Amino acid sequence: MTPIVLAAVSALIWGTADYSGGRASQRAHPLAVTVISQALCLPTLALCVILLPGTPSAADLAWGASSGLAGFVGIVLLYRALAGGAMAVVAPLAAVTAAIVPIGVGLFTDRTPGVLALGGAGLAVVAIGLVSLAPHAGRTAVSPRLIAMSLVAGVFFGLFFALLGQSSEEAGMWPLAAGRLTSVGVGAAILLGTRTGARLPRTALGWAAVAGTLEIIANAFYLAAAVRGHLSIVAAIAALYPASTVLLALAIDRERLRPVQIAGLGLAATALVLATT
C-alpha cells in the first residue's frame, strides 16, 4: 500500500475512534475514558508489534515516547470537547490545526514534495476548514471555550503527527509501543494523583473499548505511512479524519450538514487524488 493510501485508511479509522471516544466521554470523565481506552488497546498493540516487529534505535523509542505524551494530552482535550456534543464542529477544528503543524515540520525537515502533492496537502487543510463551518443547531451551543479547547487539542495532535513521523522505517511498530506505554503510565499516575475515578459505567466502557482499539490501529497505519512518505503530505491526509467523525455525528446524532460542508468533503476527495500524483 502507498503512504497516501495508508494515511487515508488511518484517517477513516481515526474519525470513527474519535466519535466513539466522544460518546464515552459524554458518560464518564474524559481523563478516565482516555486512560482506560488506551489500556484496553494493549492487546491490539502487541499484535501490531508481532506483525511488524522491527529493530528500533534509542532515538526511535524516544520519538515514540514523546509522541505518546503529545497524543495523550490531545486526546484528553479532544474527548472533553467532544463531550460537549458539537462533534461536527470540534473534530474538524482540532484536525485543521493538527494538519498545519506537521506540514510545517515536514517542509523544514524533508525534501520538498511535488507541486501537485503539496497542493493536495494544502487543499486538505482547506477541506477540513470547510467541513468545520457548521453551526451546531439545537441542543448544544459552541462556546469560545469549546473552540479554544479544540484548537489546543489540534496543536498536540500536530505534535503527535510530527514526532511519530521522525521514526525510522526499520523500527517497525516499536515507536508506537513506546508512545502508548508512556501515555498509559502517565495517565494512570494522573488518575491516582487527581483521585479521578477509573471505573467507567458499562455504556461508557463499550465506547471506550472501541475507541482505544480503533485508535491504535489508526496509529499503526499512520506510522507505516509516515516512515515511507513525505511527512507534510501524509499528515495532511491523515488529518482528514473528521470526515468520518462528522458523517457519524450526522447519521447517529442528526447534526446538520451545510452545503459548504458537502463542498469540503468533495475537496477532501480531490486532495487525496492530488496527493497521490
| Domains of the chain, residue spans | 1-276
Contacts of 43 (CB under 8 A, 6+ apart): none
Rounded to whole angstroms, the Cα distance separating 41 from 32 reads 14
Q: How far apart are CA 19 and CA 26, in angstroms?
A: 11
Taking the model in full, what pTM does it have?
A: 0.83
What DSSP letter does each residue of 260-276 carry, written as one string?
HHHHHHHHHHHHHHHHT
Percentage of residues in the chain having pLDDT higher than 90? 35
Q: What is the pLDDT of residues 237-260, one digit of tens each?
A: 888 887 776 777 677 766 666 777
277 residues of the chain, pLDDT tens digit each: 689 889 989 988 988 887 888 788 888 888 888 899 999 999 999 999 999 989 999 999 999 999 999 999 988 888 788 777 666 677 677 878 888 888 888 878 776 677 777 787 777 778 777 765 654 444 445 678 888 888 899 899 999 999 999 999 999 999 999 999 999 999 888 888 777 667 788 889 999 999 999 999 999 999 999 999 888 888 888 888 877 767 776 777 666 667 776 777 777 777 766 765 5
In angstroms, rounded to a whole number, what is the distance separating the alpha carbons of residues 156 and 159? 5
Whether 255 and 136 have beta carbons less than 8 Å apart is answered as: yes
Cell numbers found for residue 36: 482506560
What contacts 20, CB < 8 A, 6 or more positions away? 207, 208, 210, 211, 214
> Residue 193 phi/psi, 5° resolution?
-70, -35
- Cα–Cα dist 69/179, whole Å: 7
Q: Give, for 144, the enclosing helix (H) or strand (E).
A: helix 144-164
Residues 26 and 151: their CA atoms lie apart, in Å, by 20
